[in-house]
Structure 1
Amino acid sequence: MLRTGLLGYGGGPSTIPLIRHEAVERYQWLSGEEFGEVLAIANALPGPIATKLAAYLGYRQKRWSGACVAVLAHILPTCLAMVVFVSAISTFSGSRVVQGMIAAVVPVVAVMLATMAYEFGEKAVKGLGLAFGAACIVISYVLLELLRLHPAGVIVLFLAYGAVHSRIAALWRKNRAGKEKDTHWNG
């Protein structure tokens, strides 16, 4: 995880291929399919994805101590770099060049957030269907903007719904498979 923290440049999503290479190909801690499942779960949870992957992989290897070491190893290079860069920015904050650079970052972050929101919405519509995906977006808007529910509360509500929905769907598939097996043997 120290390697992914040092070499992973561009944020969590850009670090995922490096983490996958280390976990699947180099150390063979898990299969490519398992990594895909872990990545899907990590994407569903709030927080930085690369840190969640590091915590899971560390936990899988050495339980809680492994999780702590993996997270620290992954975030320590970034934390140290941030301290160095923030110190440099503080030193040169009066410079017009630095002020221009900081001002240029704001629209870039806005575009990145808009792109991410669009991609999440697109995945929701693709996975849930247009009507249900749109309904979830509207429900989220109502809960966040009109009812002023904290974003963590909305996330917990949708995670709870997802857990209940996946349980019901699994039971339904199991029941349906059992009925098909019975009709196959009886037919």
Structure 2
Amino acid sequence: MKQSNNQYLQLCAAMVRTGILGYGGGPSVMPLFRYEAVIRYKWINDDEFGEILAIANALPGPIATKMAAYLGYKLKHTTGAILAIICHILPSCIAMIALLSAVSFLSTSKIVSGMIAAVMPVVAVMLGMMAYKFGEKSLKGLGIIMGIAEFIISFLLLQVINLNSGVVILLFLAYGSVHFRVISKWKKKEEKDKERSAAG
């Protein structure tokens, strides 16, 4: 019972932190989610986080709330999912209500503009670190040649052709399932050939 209550507290604290510190929304919040779920509390590992991030990107709606819902559901099922979403969005809702009266001032404030400009490099570095981690895992899983080829293809699809990111993710998920199935069959065949040659 105590451990169960402790998990609720951890979930609430983690989601409130991502809600307060998640500057910019969307993908920029993902390093915070990763830190809370993978590093701080170890609810999931990096591989699972990467898979959920890919699926969440492919589904409609805000990615942060989908991630909060998944983590909450994994820990405490439906109650956890509802609690996680509320704790994640509550800080933003309170801040929006509190700052609503000062919108006209803030929109022209040089101080606020300076704060935004100062925070941007931090967000960029956080995203870069997360991208590096996943890129490294991708190269290990696919091999250097295939990994680099997929980076180039994804860049062309997203930046040159301007294909929807959800469509690109679905295409790569489909390819990944085929790729690893073929690799798995090839490895099994190789092992059988080795066994036969050893027996012969």
TM-score range, shorter chain: 0.5 to 0.7
Aligned to 1:169: 183
- Change over 3 Å in CA distance of 1:71–1:162 after alignment to 2: farther
Aligned to 1:79: 92
**2:31 pairs with 1:13:** yes
- Change over 3 Å in CA distance of 1:78–1:178 after alignment to 2: farther
Q: Deviations over 1:71-99 (max 9, x none)?
A: 42442334334424653651531333223
Aligned to 1:30: none
Q: 1:132 aligns with which of 146, 155, 159?
A: 146
**2:158 pairs with 1:144:** yes
Over the matched positions of the two proteins, sequence identity in percent amounts to 30
* DSSP-derived class of the 1:92 partner: helix
Please report how far the alpha carbon of residue 163 of structure 1 lies from its aligned counterpart in structure 2 after TM superposition: 1.5
Runs of 5+ in structure 1 lacking a partner? Answer: 25-33
**2:70 pairs with 1:52:** no
* DSSP-derived class of the 1:154 partner: helix
Runs of 5+ in structure 2 lacking a partner? Answer: 1-10, 23-28, 58-62
Instruction: Tell me if the contact between 1:13 and 1:50 (Cα under 8 Å) persists in the aligned partners.
Output: no
Instruction: Tell me if the contact between 2:139 and 2:147 (Cα under 8 Å) persists in the aligned partners.
Output: yes
Please report how far the alpha carbon of residue 58 of structure 1 lies from its aligned counterpart in structure 2 after TM superposition: 1.0
Higher relative contact order (CA 8 A, sep 6+): 2
Instruction: Tell me if the contact between 1:58 and 1:68 (Cα under 8 Å) persists in the aligned partners.
Output: yes
Instruction: Tell me if the contact between 1:55 and 1:68 (Cα under 8 Å) persists in the aligned partners.
Output: yes
Coordinate RMSD, CA, aligned: 3.8
- Change over 3 Å in CA distance of 1:35–1:134 after alignment to 2: closer
Aligned to 2:51: 41
Please report how far the alpha carbon of residue 119 of structure 1 lies from its aligned counterpart in structure 2 after TM superposition: 4.9
The size of the alignment, in residue pairs, is 175
Name the stretch that deviates more: 143-152 or 84-93: 84-93
**1:17-28 → structure 2 map (5 Å cutoff):** 17-19=35-37, 22=41, 24=43
Aligned to 2:12: 2
- Change over 3 Å in CA distance of 1:40–1:116 after alignment to 2: closer
* DSSP-derived class of the 2:177 partner: helix
